[in-house]
A and B are shown apart, each in its own frame.
Chain A
Amino acid sequence: MPGIDESLLEAMRLPGARGASVVDWISGLALGAVGDAPGGDVEATAAETAELARLATESGALAAVGGDPGGSSGKEPPVQDLIVTNTDSYHLLRFVSTTFDSTVFVHLWLDRAEGNLALARIRLAEMADRLVLG
């Protein structure tokens, strides 16, 4: 059963992975981080990506769900992931869905030349599920 660190190390095995972290999008706190962060600043990166994640989850347009507000429990954000494409890298934010109150996402920073975005997106989703379901 993987914990936070094991899960992040697993994400770092993806080709082109530069850094990975688990971030609380309401407080902006990084609960765990491995590898590099842009500018070498894990905390600033966590706070800024958290703000982006929060805006997405609170957006009436982006987080809209048809007829079934919030899915089964009304707790998980209907937004599943966010992708920001840079000139030289990707930022992939995958929301982690938990029954208990957690408000976290996994952030993977991926080199654009070496990384495979489609593969990373699938693997990160599986990793986020295993993190909380075992």
Chain B
Amino acid sequence: MITSALTPRTDEPASSLLGTLAAEGASGALSTESGIVYLAAGHVVHVESALTPDLGDLLTHSGALAPDGWWQAIDQAGRGCRVGRQLVDGGHLAAGALELCHLGALFDAAYFVFAHDGPALRFRPGVAHWLGAVRPVPVDTVLRESRRRRELLHRIWPDPAVDLAPLARVRTDTVDLPARRSRTLAQVDGVRTAAQIATALACRTFHTLVELRRLAAAGLVVPVVPTATPAPAHAPASAAPGPAPRPATPDEPDTALLRRLLHALEAL
């Protein structure tokens, strides 16, 4: 059936393999270097990326759902891949709220999976996500939206370094800003990346990026470029807000990924 997709096809971008799988009506999990896309009957049912908060983070960190309710739903329905349905049936969440939050997380992760459309690493047929199908989205819609989001960010401020580098404030005086932008700016500390700021705010990463690119366009935020200074490394000055580039691997998304692995293992 779709056995050809089992072997790694490093030459093929994930988006084109996804198109083929959609046409075949495939179900399973497609892994790339930046995330995992789950398909059911050729539709996207879930997307995960280490750079974006997952549904559980968005719901529990915002206070929309008590962590107990989240874990309870995973305990009861993880094995059957019906966690989404369980959240609604168990009275933890309204159906509309689950759909809105789920779609928010799905398109957010999809943006990062397809932003730099790398090769597909492997496709595991038949693998389903423990959340279950909440609101399946056509593959075309996901790919088109990811492309549109990339263009939207480019129109706001054409500097992709804002997306991944640690970010620093240019000025320390207070500026009059819309509420969301102001909250985002308050998290910029010269160390954290957009993904870490999004996690701290329990916000979707793309939506945080929009605010950060607007802040960059306004000259309020700059990416911290790792400077290859010939001088020996200065002592770790934690208080200095100057260019103190951290390692490229941020801590927070790793924690998020590990937590997700834990969820997945426990749901088995």
Contacts and interface: CB of A to CB of B under 8 A. Distances in A.
A115 interface: no
The main secondary structure of chain B at its interface with chain A is helix
Interface in A9-43: 22, 24, 26-29, 31
What secondary structure prevails in chain A residues at the interface with B?
loop
Nearest to A78: B179
B242 to A, nearest CB: 31
A5 to B, nearest CB: 9
A29 B145 contact: yes
A103 B207 contact: yes
Interface of A: 1-4, 6-7, 22, 24, 26-29, 31, 57-58, 60, 63, 69-70, 74-75, 96, 98-104, 130-134
Q: Indicate the size class of the contact surface on chain B.
A: 35 or more
Contact of A4 (B100, B180, B201): B100
B94 A132 contact: yes
Contacts of A28: 148, 152
B62 A1 contact: no
B135 A4 contact: yes
A57 B203 CA distance: 17
B238 to A, nearest CB: 29
Contacts of A60: 176, 178
A47 B149 CA distance: 11
Nearest to B202: A101
Nearest to A31: B103
A95 B107 CA distance: 20
Given A24-B104, A63-B178, A100 B96 contact: no
B95 A2 contact: yes
A55 to B, nearest CB: 10
Contacts of B99: 3-4, 31
